[in-house]
Amino acid sequence: MSARSLNKVQLIGNLTREPELRYTTGGTPVVTFGLATNRSWKDQNGETKEVAEFHNIVAWNKMAEICQQLLAKGMKIYVEGSLTTRSWEAEDGSTRYKTEIRVDDMILLDSKGKQGAGLDERKEEVQEKEVEVEEEVAEVEAADEDPLEDTDLPF
């Protein structure tokens, strides 16, 4: 019986470039983009230090199409997937390697981007309408209210 293993990656970060959608020769959609995360720590003097990490992200099939439609440079997202390393032979004959995170799940964490553009403004409009409706309902309820007298109370 072989030992169990785990290959799981969870990241929250910002897109460093626009998603690039391509298709394999077989017609399978694949999208690639970069994701930046920050790592911070305190040095021996107690000063907080921070460094950015840059990750190569790849998504396939329907997830690739979804990423292409929804994501844009600068957006904050959550991605969950697995670490994959691919290799190829370069023109000079050397073997090259690239480690990527293959996306299984993705969650948008802000409203910036292709379809989210203007979302904040639309959200404010909806909130303003909700306030107007609440005020109208309060006025109607106040007009319909019968004044309560102490004798009307059941206790």
Q: How many domains does the chain have?
A: 2
Neighbours of 57 (CB within 10 A): 25
Q: Is residue 128 part of a domain?
A: yes
Q: Are residues 100 and 26 in the same domain?
A: yes
Per-position pLDDT tens, the chain of length 155: 678 999 999 999 999 999 999 999 999 999 999 999 999 999 999 999 999 999 999 999 999 999 999 999 999 999 999 999 999 999 999 999 999 999 999 999 986 555 554 445 444 554 555 555 556 555 555 555 555 555 555 55
Q: What per-residue confidence (pLDDT) applies to 147? A: 53
Q: What per-residue confidence (pLDDT) applies to 151? A: 57
Q: Are residues 78 and 121 in the same domain?
A: no
Query: Has this prediction a pTM greater than 0.75?
Result: no
Phi, psi of 146 (to 5 degrees): -95, 135
Q: What per-residue confidence (pLDDT) applies to 138? A: 56
Alpha-carbon span 142 to 74, nearest angstrom: 48
Q: Are residues 132 and 101 in the same domain?
A: no
Q: Are residues 139 and 76 in the same domain?
A: no
What is the dihedral angle through the alpha carbons of 58, 60, 62, 67, rounded to the nearest 10 degrees? 10
Q: Are residues 106 and 118 in the same domain?
A: no
Q: What per-residue confidence (pLDDT) applies to 3? A: 82
- DSSP, collapsed to helix, strand or coil, labels residue 14 as strand
